[in-house]
């Protein structure tokens, strides 16, 4: 796996030098609970495509109920993809692992965690996603993958460590909004108000994922390109 990442990053180093900046005008929505970063990020993505979508605390909680992992408060990649799909959006899940999202990597570990129940729920949500036509991809998540998603006018939700957002050492969902040849830009639902957030591309592998477990959920609607712009801010 380490060699695969090294080869991909070496290949990408020359490709990003003249990358055209791109920015999606993804609206900001802040999370209202410690455990709803995933639902809040998904609300941003869906609102980007649907101006009439109602965003509120009760909707945030509804999404959390659908996407949480039962044994822990966090939302899984398949839980978020399922919530998007049942509301008429297209979704694709990308991860570098076939296992349950990041739960077994929490520090300190969750006491009394029933991994069997966790795995059953994970498999159930994945099965529902497959029936709904959610796409799946097993791959290291690189800046090229995220950039291609932006070019396709998809909003990508990725897991990072909340430490990068001045939070605690916990997995944290954010919504990617743009990229140029130096930075990836994102909306952080932990913020009280919208502000410019960014990762440096040269160190982005440190920012993507939580303790080696990478997850990304792309959300889009077909033939929707009206908000795509050619500059990142």
Using DSSP's 3-state secondary structure scheme, residue 82 falls into: helix
Q: Output the pLDDT for position 224.
A: 66
Residue with tokens 């959390």: 64
- The arrangement of secondary structure in 2-220, i.e. its CATH architecture, is Alpha-Beta Complex (3.90)
Q: Output the pLDDT for position 225.
A: 55
Write the DSSP string, 127-150: HHHHHTT-EEEES---HHHHHHHH
Q: Output the pLDDT for position 110.
A: 59
Alpha helix (H) residue ranges in the chain: 2-15, 37-49, 57-67, 77-86, 115-131, 143-151, 204-207
Q: Output the pLDDT for position 232.
A: 43
For the chain, 233 residues long, give each residue's pLDDT as a single digit of tens. 545 444 554 454 445 557 899 999 999 999 999 999 999 999 999 999 999 999 999 999 999 999 887 767 788 999 999 999 999 999 999 999 888 876 666 545 656 667 778 788 889 999 999 999 999 999 999 999 999 999 999 999 999 999 888 778 889 999 999 999 999 999 999 999 998 899 999 999 999 998 888 999 999 998 765 555 555 43
User: What does each C-alpha distance from 223 to 49, 86, 93 come to in angstroms?
Assistant: 11, 19, 20
Q: For the full predicted model, state whether its pTM sits above 0.75.
A: yes
Sign of the dihedral defined by the CA atoms of residues 169, 68, 25, 177, in that order: positive
Q: Domain segments of the chain: what residues?
A: 2-220
Cα separation, 158 vs 135, whole angstroms:
16
Which residues have CB under 8 Å from 168's CB, separation 6+?
A: 162
Q: Output the pLDDT for position 118.
A: 79
β-sheet bridge partners, residue 215:
95
Q: Output the pLDDT for position 160.
A: 95
Cα separation, 230 vs 20, whole angstroms:
7
């Amino acid at each position: 796996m380490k060699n695969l990442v090294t080869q991909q990053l070496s290949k990408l180093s020359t490709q990003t030098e003249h990358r055209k900046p791109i920015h999606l005008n993804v609206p900001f929505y802040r999370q209202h609970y410690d455990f709803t970063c995933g639902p809040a990020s998904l609300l941003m993505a869906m609102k980007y495509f649907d101006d009439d979508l109602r965003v509120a605390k009760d909707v945030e909680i509804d999404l959390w109920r659908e996407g949480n992992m039962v044994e822990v408060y966090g939302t899984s990649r398949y839980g978020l993809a399922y919530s998007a799909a049942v509301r008429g959006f297209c979704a694709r899940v990308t991860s570098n692992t076939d296992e349950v999202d990041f739960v077994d990597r929490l520090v300190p570990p969750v006491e009394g965690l029933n991994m069997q129940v966790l795995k059953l729920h994970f498999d159930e949500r994945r099965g529902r996603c497959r029936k709904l036509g959610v796409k799946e991809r097993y791959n290291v998540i690189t800046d090229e993958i995220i950039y291609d998603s932006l070019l396709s006018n998809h909003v990508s939700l990725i897991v990072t460590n909340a430490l990068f957002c001045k939070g605690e050492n916990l997995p944290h969902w954010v919504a990617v909004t743009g990229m140029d040849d130096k930075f990836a830009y994102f909306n952080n639902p932990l913020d009280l108000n919208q502000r410019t957030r960014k990762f440096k591309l040269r160190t982005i592998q440190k920012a993507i994922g939580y303790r080696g477990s990478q997850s990304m959920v792309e959300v889009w609607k077909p033939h929707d390109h009206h908000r795509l712009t050619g500059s990142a801010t």
